[in-house]
Amino acid sequence: MATALRLTAEACPSMIRPTRELVAEVAREHGLSERRARDVKLCVHEAIANVSCHAYKGRPGPVDVTVQDLGDVLAVAVSDHGAGAPSRICNPSAMGLRLMSHLSTRCTVRAHDDGMEVEMVFQVPSPTPRSEPPPVHRDTRLLHF
């Protein structure tokens, strides 16, 4: 397990865009397609927006964003240390949670004594296996492709 990104920032609307762009870039660097990186970006946007709107009841507070490369999946966690989410946010039929669940391979919401965490997992495509090197025919010294 390798941590690809770990950051803490003040949860406010102005930090959403740069953070989601950074997480999407990390996702691309770890093998996700452009389309899947956009899905990651949208999920991170929604998770941070929820923290910004609900976690600290209008006061400033930290949001933690972590991206871990687990080999076959990329795990993206957004967590806060606030008051917890209103019941409408934790409701599985809530629009934001449905969106994150639909776009990720798996989405888990955890309530802690000191806040909430949303973990979204995205499948990393298997690398294309390397083919055998092209044969070299020594008598003609040609390389066949």
Q: Which CATH number is associated with domain 2-127? A: 3.30.565.10
Name the packing angle between helices 13-29 and 34-50 (round to 10°): 150
Q: Select from 89, 5, 14 the least CA-distant residue to 55.
A: 89
Cβ neighbors of 56 (< 8 A, separation 6 or more) are: 11, 80, 82, 83
**What are the residue boundaries of the structural domains of the chain, listed by start?**
2-127
Q: What is the pLDDT of residues 12-68, one digit of tens each?
A: 889 999 999 999 999 999 999 999 999 999 999 999 998 988 888 878 899 999 999
| Tens-digit pLDDT profile for residues 63-94 | 999 999 998 999 999 999 987 655 545 555 57
More confident residue, 143 or 9: 9
| Short-list 43, 61, 41, CA closest to 51 | 61
The pLDDT of residue 128 is 56
Q: Among 137, 75, 134, which Cα is nearest to 107's? A: 75
* pLDDT of 59: 83
